[in-house]
Amino acid sequence: MQPPVEPFKIKVVEPVKIPSEERRREAIREAGFNTFLLLSEDVFIDLLTDSGTAAMSDNQWAGMMIGDEAYAGSKNFYNLEKAVQDVLGYKHLVPTHQGRGAEHLMFQHLVKDGQIVPRNMYFTTSKLHVEIPGGKMVDSIIDEAHDPENLHPFKGNMDFNKLQTYIDDYGLEKIAFVSVEMNVNMAGGQPVSMENLRKLREFCDDYKLKIIYDATRSSENAYFIREREKGYEDTPIIEILREMMSYSHGSVYSSKKDCLVNIGGFLATNDKEIYEATRNMVVVYEGLHTYGGMAGRDMEAVARGLREGAEYDYLKYRVNQVRYLGELLMKANVPIVKPTGGHAIFLNALKFLPHLTREQWPAQTLAGAIYEDSAVRSMERGAVSKGRDKETGENIFPPLELVRLTIPRRVYTNTHIEYTAKSIVNLYEKRDNIPGLEMVYEPKYLRFFQARFEQIK
Ligand SMILES: *Cc1c(COP(=O)(O)O)cnc(C)c1O
């Protein structure tokens, strides 16, 4: 494919440089082979995450200048509320400092000790915020999602048989609510179809179960619905988004992804009870209900970014830039999760480094090797991220052991994408010589952020 043409031009630049081979070797060892512990200065192309790394538009920067920093009733809150109503169709908004703030409020309100939360697939902070009030998150994604080669167009879909089994096994009163993540991050940025959302609502209505979305990547999900689902070929993205949200009782949302900003989050709902409870809790944990941990200027940037991030031309470029990287890698037979998702390319570390055992952390190893080779920073998404079983304390080895190359929004040019692809293809050709890792430090919570490793001799 041709590289996608950017629907913008560049007004400000930030210089980056490639550190020497010697410095890269030293830096990854200083970081304990954990790319989260690398210094940003040592990184040339930073594909660690798409979270809070977007380039804002001139329109958003202009919005920052009209930040109304009143403690209460900032006009930017009302602009954000209006944007959420227009783009997502929810009436009520509770702002939070970022996505996990919204998860904290929503899940503390909805989850009781001993309950479970079925969700297409877990996400790290979401899982933890279900566990803190004593709940457990259980996966109910279709089986196709666990197969990196399967070309199903909506690998994020919920499996209703799995959901039924949880209800039968645990009993209805043990289900706190049903959660659906849009463009499922841990499955490779794979979308959920409108049909699946519509049917899920019917299914849950029969049991009077509430549905809460993790709508963080809903705009990119909406793009895939338009691209792949019959009947939506010409539907405006905002109409798709509003229909998606109409099948839920509320959403938690990290603005740091599809809203094209560097910080922020919120929860949104049409459910009066959820709204009242979380609006009350927000003053305890985040800030007053008209700022929730964000500055006025940040809320303005989110409001404008939510609208910009739902523009068709932008989304088309965005999704195709990710696809472009995927195609360059596939052309050289590098094993990646297919089809390519919305925000990242996921390398299949089990196939990239078949000489390593699961206990040698293949994805962690690969992320370190990519950095050392090319100063491109990626992230492990496999057993280190998954953590240990809460009851047995054993490591969980999920079927997918991946390295995520996450593309920040509007930040890197197609030449940067080509550099990245070329380096990974080179590394793939000398992959047999890459030694595995041993974990030498393991923190208790979200260990992937701070764990340290050493190379096995
Ligand atoms: C990033 C993310 C979160 C957490 O949001 P933060 O803004 O990082 O706190 C929750 N769910 C999903 C799917 C995410 O990608």
Cis peptide before 399 (omega within 30 of 0): no
Q: Same domain for 253 and 390?
A: no
pLDDT by residue (tens digit) across 94-151? 999 999 999 999 999 999 999 999 999 999 899 999 999 999 999 999 999 999 899 9
Residue 161, domain member (yes or no): yes
216 lines ligand 1 (CB under 6 A): yes
- Give all strands of the β-sheet with 344-348 in edge-to-edge order: 344-348, 402-406, 379-381
Active site (annotated) includes residue 177: no
DSSP helix/strand/coil, 171: coil
254 lines ligand 1 (CB under 6 A): yes
pLDDT of residue 293: 96
Q: Same domain for 27 and 65?
A: no
* Domain termination site, one of 252, 282, 308: 308
The whole-number average pLDDT for the span 81-88 is 98
Torsion of CA 83, 267, 315, 18, to 10 degrees: 120
* Domain termination site, one of 308, 336, 370: 308
Burial-class residue 275 by CB neighbours within 10 Å (0-12, 13-18, 19+). buried
What is the number of structural domains in the chain? 2
Q: Same domain for 75 and 197?
A: yes
pLDDT of residue 139: 96
**Cβ atoms 315, 220 nearer than 8 A:** yes
Single-letter code of the amino acid located at 222: A
Comparing CA positions, the residue from 171, 71, 46, 176 lying closest to residue 119 is 176
Asked if residue 87 has pLDDT above 90, the reply is yes
Q: Same domain for 298 and 381?
A: no
Q: Same domain for 269 and 246?
A: yes
Q: Same domain for 30 and 97?
A: no
Distance in Å, CA 122 to ligand 1 centroid: 11
Give the CATH number of the domain where residue 120 resides: 3.40.640.10
DSSP helix/strand/coil, 43: coil
pLDDT of residue 234: 97
Active site (annotated) includes residue 257: yes
- Distance from C-alpha of 8 to C-alpha of 313, rounded to nearest angstrom: 10
256 lines ligand 1 (CB under 6 A): yes
User: In b/e form, how buried is each residue of 322-337, taking b as 16+ CB within 10 angstroms?
Assistant: bbbbbbbbbeeebbbb
266 lines ligand 1 (CB under 6 A): no
Residue 6, domain member (yes or no): no
Range of the domain at 380: 21-50+311-455
pLDDT of residue 188: 84
**Does an H or E element contain 26, and which?**
helix 21-30
Distance in Å, CA 439 to ligand 1 centroid: 25
Q: Same domain for 70 and 185?
A: yes
- Residue 441: Cβ within 10 Å count: 12
pLDDT by residue (tens digit) across 52-66? 999 999 999 999 999
99 lines ligand 1 (CB under 6 A): yes
pLDDT by residue (tens digit) across 171-214? 999 999 999 999 999 888 999 999 999 999 999 999 999 999 99
Residue 62, domain member (yes or no): yes
Selected catalytic residue, list 155, 256, 381, 447: 381
Residue nearest to atom 4 of ligand 1 (CA): 99
Distance in Å, CA 392 to ligand 1 centroid: 27
pLDDT by residue (tens digit) across 299-324? 999 999 999 999 999 999 999 999 99
Query: Which one of 48, 49, 51 would you pick to mutate in the ligand 1 pocket, going by the greatest count of ligand atoms within 8 A of its CB?
Result: 51
50 lines ligand 1 (CB under 6 A): no
179 lines ligand 1 (CB under 6 A): no
221 lines ligand 1 (CB under 6 A): no
335 lines ligand 1 (CB under 6 A): no
Selected catalytic residue, list 35, 53, 96, 124: 124
Query: Which one of 257, 258, 266 would you pick to mutate in the ligand 1 pocket, going by the greatest count of ligand atoms within 8 A of its CB?
Result: 257
107 lines ligand 1 (CB under 6 A): no
Residue 123, domain member (yes or no): yes
Q: Same domain for 298 and 327?
A: no
Q: Which atom number of ligand 1 is nearest to the Cα of residue 265?
A: 7
Distance in Å, CA 98 to ligand 1 centroid: 8
Distance in Å, CA 456 to ligand 1 centroid: 33
User: Any bridge partners for residue 214, and if so which?
Assistant: 181, 252
Q: Same domain for 396 and 438?
A: yes
Distance in Å, CA 265 to ligand 1 centroid: 9
Asked if residue 400 has pLDDT above 90, the reply is no
- Distance from C-alpha of 268 to C-alpha of 368, rounded to nearest angstrom: 38
pLDDT of residue 58: 98
Residue 2, domain member (yes or no): no
Q: Which atom number of ligand 1 is nearest to the Cα of residue 102?
A: 9
pLDDT of residue 383: 95
Distance in Å, CA 255 to ligand 1 centroid: 8
Q: Same domain for 266 and 128?
A: yes
Q: Same domain for 89 and 210?
A: yes
pLDDT of residue 73: 97
Active site (annotated) includes residue 297: no
* Domain termination site, one of 308, 340, 368: 308
Asked if residue 167 has pLDDT above 90, the reply is yes
Distance in Å, CA 99 to ligand 1 centroid: 5
DSSP helix/strand/coil, 415: helix
Q: Same domain for 361 and 337?
A: yes
Comparing CA positions, the residue from 405, 235, 393, 270 lying closest to residue 336 is 405
Residue 83, domain member (yes or no): yes
Comparing CA positions, the residue from 352, 364, 348 lying closest to residue 32 is 364
Give the CATH number of the domain where residue 338 resides: 3.90.1150.10
Question: What's the pTM value of the predicted model, to 2 decimals?
Answer: 0.94
Active site (annotated) includes residue 123: yes
Active site (annotated) includes residue 44: no
Selected catalytic residue, list 257, 304, 307, 323: 257
Residue 13, domain member (yes or no): no
Residue 366, domain member (yes or no): yes
